Amino acid sequence: QTTTVSKYGVSLINKPADYQLTVRNDSAKKMVELLKLIPGLVYDLRYATTNNFTHLQLYVPATRFTFLRLPAARALATVQKELNSRGYGLKIFDAYRPYSVTVKFWELILDERYVANPVKGSGHNRGLAVDCTIIDLKSRRELDMGTGFDNFSDTAHHNFTALPAAVLDHRKLLKEVMEKHGFNKLDTEWWHFYWSNDRGYEVLDIPFEELVK
């Protein structure tokens, strides 16, 4: 298996065959397409549209897939099951994100509270992080979380409490159900959760179409 070193000094895999080799050595590294595993999951893959903070289409517009590594994908399935039993479901804004997109984010924002520093790479680049919210199953509407997705301000922080009680309850529900099933929260973004990098999951810069094959 060969790795490439980015201009920020991170080792990454950018060839599908090299990624496949890591999966042959450790099946937990498989990138699982979430909708294939999790029935009823709703996608609103913002970076495949211009409806995101950059106003640019960062993924090919037709991107209909998103991925997490096997253990994180299985854990997300248990989150969905629990939410469904309570009349709710997950909506996914983003999960796997190619490293080159993280570089673009960093060069626009330069703030580690809101975008990963490409010197380290993001959990999204490793297939370990997910940006999500909760929808009501009957109305299909998102629960009010007080800010929209990628609102890079103090109001989106978990410790920001000057919000209506219903908003605080919704954030608590999302945080508690994600933590219960093994995800960690990011203090500065209510929508971002990550799985531990306990198996040395590599940073990937592989297009979505290659992973779905």
Ligand X SMILES: C[C@@H](N)C(=O)N[C@H](C)C(=O)O
Q: Locate 132 and state its tokens.
A: 């999500």
What whole-number distance in Å separates Cα of residue 199 and Cα of residue 52?
A: 31
Residue 88 binds which entry of ligand X, Zn ion, none, CB below 5-8 Å type-dependent: none
In the complex, minimum distance from the CB of residue 116 to ligand X, in angstroms, rounded to a whole number: 4
Rounded least distance, CB 60 to ligand X, Å:
19
Smallest distance from Zn ion to CB 129, Å: 5
Place of tokens 């799985």: 195
By a kind-dependent CB cut-off of 5 to 8 A, residue 105 interacts, out of Zn ion, ligand X, none, with ligand X
Q: Which of 30, 103, 131, 190 binds ligand X (CB under 6 A)?
A: 131
150 binds ligand X (CB under 6 A): yes
Do 84 and 39 contact (CB within 8 A), yes or no? no
Phi, psi of 43 (to 5 degrees): -105, 135
Does position 33 bind Zn ion by CB under 5 A?
no
Of 93, 78, 37, whose CA–CA distance to 179 is shortest?
Answer: 78
Radius of gyration of the chain (CA): 17
Structure token pair of residue 127 = 């297939």
Least separation in angstroms between CB 86 and ligand X: 26
Give residues 112-141 in contact with Zn ion (rule: CB under 5 A): 131
Shortest Cβ 171–ligand X spacing (Å): 16
**Cα–Cα dist 202/10, whole Å:** 10
Of ligand X, Zn ion, none, which one sits near residue 115, judging by CB under 5 to 8 A according to partner kind? ligand X
- What phi, psi does 37 have (nearest 5°)? -95, -30
- Judged by the rule CB under 6 A, the positions of this chain that interact with ligand X are 102, 105, 114-116, 122-124, 129, 131, 150, 189, 192
- Judged by the rule CB under 5 A, the positions of this chain that interact with Zn ion are 131, 192
